[in-house]
């Protein structure tokens, strides 16, 4: 890419319904019930975010249940971390075999209407980097929570915690 080309980004804002888990899931649209998962990469974790094999990322949220505000940006390159706007930021690699993902707040009793389909990832199937930003993780009040997930194509590399300002993220990263 030349220096004068602008980045392509797609951003979607949504409220994700969380049901008694304190987690939101980013799932690849591929059919994994029938797939041989023996070659999945090992589970990796970076504070607030965990990847369990191919196509499954778990994003921890403060609320056990309720509506959680989320913004997701899919970009063609690293869009840059918002270090001033969020208290906790972590990055991790994520494999998307289909290049299509959904964001959902629970896995039991699948309801397609509650699954938030995101635009197809800009590079199709492949390896991506997830950067998860959180504000208000240690607060009990809904109004202060904000979650921002960035997704862009990148080679596989180690997970990293870029910023931790609260007690909760460090506790989640311990084995």
Does residue 120 lie in a domain region?
A: yes
Structure tokens at 18: 């969380």
Does residue 174 lie in a domain region?
A: no
Does residue 2 lie in a domain region?
A: no
pTM over cut 0.75: yes
Alpha helices (H) along the chain: 167-172
Which string of b and e fits 113-144 if b means at least 16 CB within 10 Å? eebbebebbbbeeebbbbbbbbbbbeeeeeee
Instruction: Give the domain extent around 66.
Output: 10-30+40-167
How sure is the predictor about 110, in pLDDT bands with cuts at 50, 70 and 90?
low
Are 81 and 133 in contact by the 8 Å Cβ rule? The answer is yes
Does residue 35 lie in a domain region?
A: no
CATH number of the domain enclosing 110: 2.60.34.30
pLDDT in tens, 81-93: 999 888 889 999 9
Does residue 95 lie in a domain region?
A: yes
Q: Within 13 Å of residue 85, how many CA atoms lie on the same side as its CB?
A: 10
Does residue 142 lie in a domain region?
A: yes
Mean pLDDT calculated for residue range 108-128: 82
Provide the number of structural domains found in the chain.
1
How sure is the predictor about 173, in pLDDT bands with cuts at 50, 70 and 90?
very low
Does residue 159 lie in a domain region?
A: yes
């Amino acid at each position: 890419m030349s220096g004068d080309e602008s980045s392509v980004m797609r951003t979607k804002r949504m409220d994700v319904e969380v049901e008694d888990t304190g987690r939101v899931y980013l799932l690849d649209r591929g059919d994994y019930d029938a797939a041989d998962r023996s070659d999945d990469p090992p589970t990796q974790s970076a504070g607030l975010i965990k990847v369990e094999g191919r196509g499954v990322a778990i994003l921890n949220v403060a609320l056990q249940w309720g509506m959680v505000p989320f913004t997701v940006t899919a970009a063609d390159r690293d869009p840059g971390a918002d270090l001033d706007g969020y208290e906790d930021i972590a990055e991790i690699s994520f494999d998307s075999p289909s290049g299509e993902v959904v964001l959902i707040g629970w896995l039991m009793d699948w309801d397609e209407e509650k699954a938030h389909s995101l635009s197809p990832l800009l590079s199709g199937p492949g390896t991506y980097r997830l950067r998860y930003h959180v504000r208000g993780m240690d607060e009990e009040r809904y109004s202060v929570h904000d979650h921002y997930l960035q997704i862009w194509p990148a080679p596989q590399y180690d997970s990293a915690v870029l910023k931790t300002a609260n007690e909760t993220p460090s506790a989640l990263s311990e084995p």
